[in-house]
């Protein structure tokens, strides 16, 4: 083990793997050099991997200049994303399975949806949307479980030029209402219930609550999935399945400009309300398709499984758009890794002969705790590449994944990227880049990472470097703006380090030029691979009538990666009780969703503030980490004694 606790090993794919891979080490080196030396030529050629209605005559037109940030790729080309993901495969793949849907209950049969069936169902859904008045440029919010209708809805929007915005089915009615309102959506598509892990979430009833806070004209399209009874509003609610059955089975696709928005996806920032990340059509699809093929070494006929939910960007790029643009067979899984038992992932891998398996470290850690016998029971010989995403993968989890799931023969691709980046930024290509456990390794084609000194904002030229991670130039999958707020977009990503896209992550580059992501350096925390703004949790807490003030930080958590630690100052005279603690946990759950529920709540009679009233989060983070011996300079605090009080009553003593 090296000093930093990482295994020092370097792992390469087998000779056989390398010989058959899309990209080997020499090809990576040559292609990477070409991609950064002449992006126009490189991406001009890569653009041809998708079908254009009108070909582009320019490739890259981008500026990272704060005040004038503008990102355009293939800007005079036209295309349709749905046609690229479906229609163009009709000649050679009409009867190939596009989507394997694996339901929550293993007792229910899986569905194999061919490209021909995907076309018909997408068209029917598109016709339903059109009948409801949805037009090009309109926003459609999708609040669905992991069911085939979610894929049909995404592709139907793309087909008619509507902009979808998926809200993860684990979000609360309030969070849903905020997203419907911010995007000014005309329609929300939901289901009666979302079964997961044998339990059911009442999506329709959540949507009913959300719509109380939205424009009366918003229509609600309901997929009757479980068939359980729900409230029904005759003038507002539409039975999607019935309408689809009655709709025409074909719907022409519309010609979209490369820079027309494809989707909005809300994600947490370090301040304020969630940000509506906007991705557009041409560049996004080229990038999603290329990364899906190369990062996972996807070969024709392979079965690809990304275990994410379509409510996150991972599901957009690596369940739907990337794989389908490549004519792949992609799995959509409705359930959870531990239902009905801790062998479910591996049972599904064996059942569908999965070749590439892509999941998050938090899932691996939770399964690791259940013992290897759950893996060993199943035949995993079809697996060829394993992927990891969402947070740095710790060496124990990496070793377990490699040994028990990959049997030592599957390269592990540790993919670093973000909602904002559309696709992988830093990742091994399995046949080209040897892995070091815990490192995302090297940049993807066209990506120019730089490590900056956060104090001086200067680029560190030496190979070995430590600092913050920025990207020096644009790539086609990059977000274009924040919905309705371009100024906030520039402020959030281009203001702090001028001329660069700032990821918000810390990073180390080792002597071999490998990148090691060290985690967020802003007030964003990463809970089970899900991003949470501490400011969002704080504003939920202070919305409670008994809470005067709150400060939220992350702390290391064995399974989740980071847990949510909330310091809460109560209103004068309110008694701090365990019952109140429960009440606040449930309050945050219902304000945002279960993923935002604080793991630890500490009653804080006072918070450490500077004389100007700014909370010193650095101190709160240290106490939450149970690392209070080195609090640094506290002399600028208005009342240094509050720190001792907080240390004495700290909740994390592990
Ligand atoms: C943040 C982005 C798009 C992937 C799903 C999460 C962290 C993501 C890795 C990785 C270390 C990672 C970063 C990043 N992250 N992948 N392989 N190694 N950290 O998307 O919700 O937009 O979160 O997740 O901190 O900034 P997201």
Q: Is 579 contained in some domain?
A: yes
Of 387, 335, 404, the C-alpha closest to 106 is: 335
Of 600, 171, 530, the C-alpha closest to 361 is: 530
Dist. CA 650–CA 639, nearest whole Å = 18
Q: Is 313 contained in some domain?
A: no
Does the pLDDT at position 566 exceed 70? yes
From atom 12 of ligand 1, which residue's Cα is the shortest distance away? Answer: 391
Q: How far is the CA of 615 from the centre of ligand 1 (A)?
A: 26
Pocket test for ligand 1, best of 391, 419, 478, 533 (most atoms within 8 A of CB): 391
416 is in an annotated binding site: yes
* Cα separation values, 220 from 160, 174, 242, 306, Å: 18, 16, 14, 29
552 is in an annotated binding site: no
Residue holding tokens 């939920």?
540
Q: Is 609 contained in some domain?
A: yes
Query: By residue range, what is the domain housing residue 245?
Result: 112-257
589 is in an annotated binding site: yes
> DSSP class of residue 265?
E
ipTM comes to 0.99
629 falls in which pLDDT band (50, 70, 90)? confident
Q: How far is the CA of 521 from the centre of ligand 1 (A)?
A: 13
Domain end call among 232, 257, 282: 257
Average pLDDT over residues 147-167: 98
Does the pLDDT at position 439 exceed 50? yes
| Number of folded domains that form the chain | 2
Residue 560 CB contacts under 8 Å (≥ 6 apart), including other chains: 362, 527, 528, 599
Domain end call among 230, 257, 284: 257
CATH of residue 574's domain is: 3.30.300.30
Q: How far is the CA of 510 from the centre of ligand 1 (A)?
A: 20
The pLDDT, as a whole number, for residue 323 is 98
The pLDDT, as a whole number, for residue 420 is 98
Of 95, 256, 274, 257, the C-alpha closest to 180 is: 274
Q: Is 272 contained in some domain?
A: no
Pocket test for ligand 1, best of 531, 534, 554 (most atoms within 8 A of CB): 531
Q: Is 342 contained in some domain?
A: no
CB 134 within 8 A of CB 98: no
CATH of residue 170's domain is: 3.40.50.980
pLDDT tens-digit readout, 503-551:
999 999 999 999 999 989 988 999 998 889 998 999 899 999 999 889 9
CB 165 within 8 A of CB 139: yes
From atom 19 of ligand 1, which residue's Cα is the shortest distance away? Answer: 391
Of 332, 369, 370, the C-alpha closest to 354 is: 332
Domain end call among 206, 226, 257: 257
pLDDT tens-digit readout, 469-510:
999 999 999 999 999 999 999 999 999 999 999 999 999 999
Average pLDDT over residues 251-255: 98
The pLDDT, as a whole number, for residue 369 is 87
Average pLDDT over residues 411-439: 97
Q: Is 588 contained in some domain?
A: yes
Q: Quote the tokens at residue 542.
A: 């202070």
From atom 20 of ligand 1, which residue's Cα is the shortest distance away? Answer: 418
The pLDDT, as a whole number, for residue 4 is 44
Atom of ligand 1 nearest to the CA of 415: 17
Q: How far is the CA of 112 from the centre of ligand 1 (A)?
A: 31
542 is in an annotated binding site: yes
Residue environment code for 168-203, b if the CB has 16+ CB neighbours within 10 A, otherwise e:
bbbbbbbbbbbbbebbebbbbbbbbbbbbeeebbbb
546 is in an annotated binding site: no
414 is in an annotated binding site: yes
Q: How far is the CA of 529 from the centre of ligand 1 (A)?
A: 7
Residue percentage of the chain with pLDDT more than 70: 99
Q: How far is the CA of 517 from the centre of ligand 1 (A)?
A: 9
Dist. CA 228–CA 22, nearest whole Å = 47
Of 33, 306, 324, the C-alpha closest to 154 is: 324
Q: Is 50 contained in some domain?
A: no
Ligand 1 binding pocket (C-beta < 6 A) is 267, 313-314, 389-392, 414-419, 440, 503-505, 517, 519-520, 526, 529, 531
Q: Is 97 contained in some domain?
A: no
């Amino acid at each position: 083990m090296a000093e930093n606790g990482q295994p020092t090993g370097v792992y390469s794919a087998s000779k056989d793997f390398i010989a058959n891979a899309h990209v080997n080490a020499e090809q990576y080196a040559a292609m990477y050099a070409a991609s950064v030396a002449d992006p126009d030529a490189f991406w001009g050629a890569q653009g041809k991997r998708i079908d254009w209605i009108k070909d582009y005559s320019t490739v890259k037109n981008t500026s990272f200049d704060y005040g004038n940030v503008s990102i355009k790729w293939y800007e005079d080309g036209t295309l349709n994303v749905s046609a690229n993901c479906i229609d163009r495969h009709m000649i050679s793949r009409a009867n190939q399975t596009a989507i394997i849907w694996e339901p929550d209950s293993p007792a229910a049969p899986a569905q194999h949806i061919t490209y021909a069936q995907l076309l018909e169902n997408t068209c029917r859904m598109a016709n339903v949307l059109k009948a409801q008045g949805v037009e090009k440029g309109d926003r459609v919010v999708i609040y669905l479980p992991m069911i085939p209708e979610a894929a049909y809805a995404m592709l139907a929007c793309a087909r008619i030029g509507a902009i979808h915005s998926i809200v993860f089915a684990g979000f609360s009615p309030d969070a849903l209402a905020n997203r419907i309102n911010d995007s000014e959506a005309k329609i929300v598509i939901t289901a009666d219930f979302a079964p997961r892990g044998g339990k059911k979430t009442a999506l329709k009833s959540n949507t009913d609550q959300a719509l109380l806070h939205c424009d009366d004209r918003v229509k609600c399209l309901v997929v009757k999935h479980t068939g359980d009874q729900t409230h029904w509003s005759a003038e507002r609610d539409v039975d999607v399945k019935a309408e689809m059955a009655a709709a025409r089975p074909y719907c022409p696709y519309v010609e979209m400009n490369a820079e027309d928005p494809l989707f909005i996806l809300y994600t947490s920032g370090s301040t304020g309300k969630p940000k509506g990340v906007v991705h557009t059509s041409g560049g996004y699809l080229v990038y999603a398709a290329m990364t899906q093929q190369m990062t996972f070494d996807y070969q024709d006929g392979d079965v690809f499984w990304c275990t994410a939910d379509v409510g996150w960007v991972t599901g957009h790029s690596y369940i739907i758009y990337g794989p389908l643009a490549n004519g792949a067979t992609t799995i959509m899984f409705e359930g959870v890794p531990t239902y009905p038992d801790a062998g479910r992932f591996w049972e599904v891998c064996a059942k569908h002969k999965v070749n590439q398996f892509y999941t998050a470290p938090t899932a691996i850690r939770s399964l690791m705790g259940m013992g290897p016998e759950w893996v060993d029971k199943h035949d995993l010989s079809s697996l060829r590449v394993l992927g990891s995403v969402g947070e740095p993968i710790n060496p124990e989890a990496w070793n377990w994944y490699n040994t028990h799931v990959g049997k030592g023969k599957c390269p592990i691709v540790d993919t670093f990227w973000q909602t904002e980046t559309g696709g992988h930024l830093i990742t091994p290509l399995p046949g080209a880049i040897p892995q070091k456990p815990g490192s995302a390794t090297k940049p993807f084609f066209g990506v120019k990472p730089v490590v900056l000194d956060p104090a001086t904002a200067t680029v560190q030229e030496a190979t070995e470097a430590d600092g913050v991670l920025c990207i020096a130039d644009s790539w086609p999958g990059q977000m274009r703006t924040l919905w309705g707020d371009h100024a906030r977009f520039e402020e959030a990503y281009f203001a702090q380090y001028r001329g660069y896209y700032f990821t918000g992550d810390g990073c180390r580059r080792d002597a071999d030029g490998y990148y090691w992501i060290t985690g967020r350096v802003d007030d964003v925390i990463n809970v089970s691979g899900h991003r949470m703004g501490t400011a969002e949790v704080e504003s939920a807490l202070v919305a409670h009538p008994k809470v005067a003030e709150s400060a939220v930080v992350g702390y290391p958590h064995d399974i989740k990666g980071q847990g949510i630690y909330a310091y809460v100052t109560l209103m004068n005279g309110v008694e701090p009780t365990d019952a109140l603690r429960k009440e606040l946990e449930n309050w945050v759950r219902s304000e945002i969703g279960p993923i935002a529920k604080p793991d630890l709540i500490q009653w804080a009679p006072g918070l450490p503030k500077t004389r100007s009233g700014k909370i010193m989060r650095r101190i709160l983070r240290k106490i939450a980490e149970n690392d209070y011996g080195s609090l640094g300079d506290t002399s600028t605090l208005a009342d240094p004694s509050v720190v001792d009080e907080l240390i004495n009553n700290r909740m994390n003593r592990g």
